Chains A and B, each alone.
Chain A
């Protein structure tokens, strides 16, 4: 069991300074997430779910606590966070966040390009990933605006997988999709965990996702409590 733990967050705190004062977006949060599992965080709006995901993805820096990923604390000053994001993390967002001027294929190739992978290898892997995500060939050269929400999200997941990270951080990946499309996206993500041994950490409003989750947490006012499934 313990060798499956890839994320080990301990006593993480994140406060935002706002005009009214301070917001304790994350309040003494400790949790673990495992490889090969879908870990889900549910909770009301403004409870700190996205912030927690960004803290794990190193896009936000917490004031205190430790976040060990594969045994290394990413909050250590020596950690190369750009490299960490590039190699260990794949992000999937509610609003897809594809580069609008790039085609589906180019969007998937982009993280590999940034990592310095050879162009033909980029192309080969991107095509393969898009194929696995069920993106039709004719869409490879399509821009995000020419694709449906579901297609966008498949491309986004393919992009998250481009550099073969251990962890997929998905922030309400179905939030902008209809129910049917949403459940296919969930299927894709859970299969990534089960078949490819990824750690999928997912934030959602949608309690029905708990059904496919291996572990689940409830977040309220920056505090996390595990839900016994």
Chain B
């Protein structure tokens, strides 16, 4: 108690000398603390990023395999192709249909991996709806005819099983749960009426669909209405299926686009690429496509980007022998493009932090040497008049603690002011894409679109929803957080302890007789 008072009094009475130390420490501590703030901010930001990016993987047809198939198809002449089509047996037809799909056996097996948190599977295909006309495709046909092209050759990227496009073709996206379809999770599309199809709809193969708002109103369709879909590759009984409309969605992006470009030409204004997409339970889409047990891709969220290697290894095991046909794609590059600048800034800040802390230690050590040697007589007096070494040391400790505390409090204040600029300064000056590449697929590419653009991951939503690439600089938000305060206290204790080393040594060794007779 008295020690505190004496120490604090000593701090006040030696104010000028102590303030010089405070100022020096303040400068170094501000540097340390803002470096620390940058580090903490970068760490927590990377942690946040890890929750949404870098923990995604999907299994789909490998790009190499797709290229090969495409090349083989391209080199065939039209005559060869039609000859082939005529001579196909049912079994061959079925094999063709699933050639560019992934067996559920594989995607299900991989879903059992310990790191996988959520699992969805998706089948995207084109489905013929006899009652509705796809105005987009119709337009496309017109454009192609005007350009003297044949519509038949435009099958899209990998549309082996969907070659026969008609103006009644629509894009069907099936997964296990409507609400978790990526177009809805990304917010690109929004349910405005009715409900999502559920997991139960999927397991029971309930013939339900979600339709786009404009398409619905163009065709006077509402919730509860049914539309007739053609089942691919089946004739006679069971060649059609009645689909009940349970949900109507709108496309957020296309709405805002059409608003902003309302003055453009009428054909452009009508163009609503998103409108041709239906969402239905995977099992239903599989029936329509006549590809039970096959999907376009399996989509997975695993726990963290840190387990990317483990996930890849697990996939290798599951996919033994088929690795050339299927591939596991992750969003690691997305993660890297966001996290790398942050990690760089973090590493730089750690270096700066250690340097600045070293400087702090040096300053306090030197300051103590000077202060102590200036106050030797005082220490001698204290010991001569009956003060124990402990009392002298504690009094000094309190004084040093005061010095360090003032410095660190000021430094914390200053850090709150300059932390952000420090962060900006340390962040590498590169911009990165935070969303996927722009997808420039034509409407005709839509049916095969999911596969056509191999770089695009399902989790990013379908091609049309991200109409332009968003180049966004990675930002580091250096916010003041509680941990920084805790670290500040830790630094305070550390610096004070370092500062105490010399006084402790000096006080214990000091013989009062040596100094008391000095003039």
- Are A and B physically bound partners? yes
Verify A116–B384 contact, CB threshold 8 A: no
A186 CB, nearest partner CB in chain B, Å: 20
Closest B residue to A122 using CB positions = B2
Verify A59–B511 contact, CB threshold 8 A: yes
Set of chain A residues within 8 Å of B489, measured between Cβ atoms: none
* Partner among B13, B385, B386, B391 whose Cβ is within 8 Å of the Cβ of A101: B13
Set of chain B residues within 8 Å of A40, measured between Cβ atoms: none
* Partner among A54, A85, A106 whose Cβ is within 8 Å of the Cβ of B386: A85
Residue A220, interface by CB 8 Å: no
Cα distance, A116 to B517, chains bound together (Å): 27
Residue A211, interface by CB 8 Å: no
Cα distance, A187 to B512, chains bound together (Å): 28
Set of chain A residues within 8 Å of B6, measured between Cβ atoms: 113
Residue A190, interface by CB 8 Å: no
Verify A59–B14 contact, CB threshold 8 A: no
Cα distance, A59 to B517, chains bound together (Å): 12
Set of chain A residues within 8 Å of B14, measured between Cβ atoms: 101
CB contact list, B40-90 vs A, under 8 A: none
Residue A100, interface by CB 8 Å: yes
Residue B518, interface by CB 8 Å: yes
Closest A residue to B515 using CB positions = A97
Residue A111, interface by CB 8 Å: yes
CB contact list, A101-139 vs B, under 8 A: 101-102, 106, 110-111, 113-116
Verify A60–B513 contact, CB threshold 8 A: yes
Set of chain A residues within 8 Å of B384, measured between Cβ atoms: 57, 59, 85, 91, 97
Cα distance, A57 to B516, chains bound together (Å): 12
Cα distance, A91 to B384, chains bound together (Å): 8
With A101-B10, A101-B14 known as contacts, the answer to whether A82 contacts B513 (CB < 8 A) is no
Residue A197, interface by CB 8 Å: no
By the criterion of a CB under 8 Å from any partner CB, how many residues of chain A are at the interface? 31
Verify A82–B387 contact, CB threshold 8 A: yes
Cα distance, A114 to B384, chains bound together (Å): 11
Verify A111–B517 contact, CB threshold 8 A: no
Cα distance, A171 to B2, chains bound together (Å): 30
Residue A93, interface by CB 8 Å: yes
CB contact list, B333-377 vs A, under 8 A: 377
Cα distance, A86 to B377, chains bound together (Å): 18
Set of chain B residues within 8 Å of A93, measured between Cβ atoms: 516-517
B414 CB, nearest partner CB in chain A, Å: 29
Closest A residue to B6 using CB positions = A113
CB contact list, B1-25 vs A, under 8 A: 2, 6, 9-10, 13-14
Closest B residue to A116 using CB positions = B2
Set of chain A residues within 8 Å of B517, measured between Cβ atoms: 50, 93-95, 171
6 sample A-B contacts, Cβ–Cβ < 8 Å, listed by A number = A50-B517, A59-B511, A93-B517, A97-B384, A99-B381, A171-B517
- A positions within 8 Å CB-CB of B: 50, 54, 57, 59-60, 82-83, 85-87, 89, 91, 93-95, 97-102, 106, 110-111, 113-116, 159, 163, 171
Contacts A59-B511, A59-B513, A111-B386 given; 19 further ones with Cβ under 8 A?
A: A50-B517, A54-B513, A57-B384, A82-B383, A82-B386, A82-B387, A85-B386, A86-B385, A86-B387, A91-B384, A95-B518, A97-B377, A97-B516, A100-B378, A101-B10, A101-B13, A101-B378, A110-B385, A113-B2
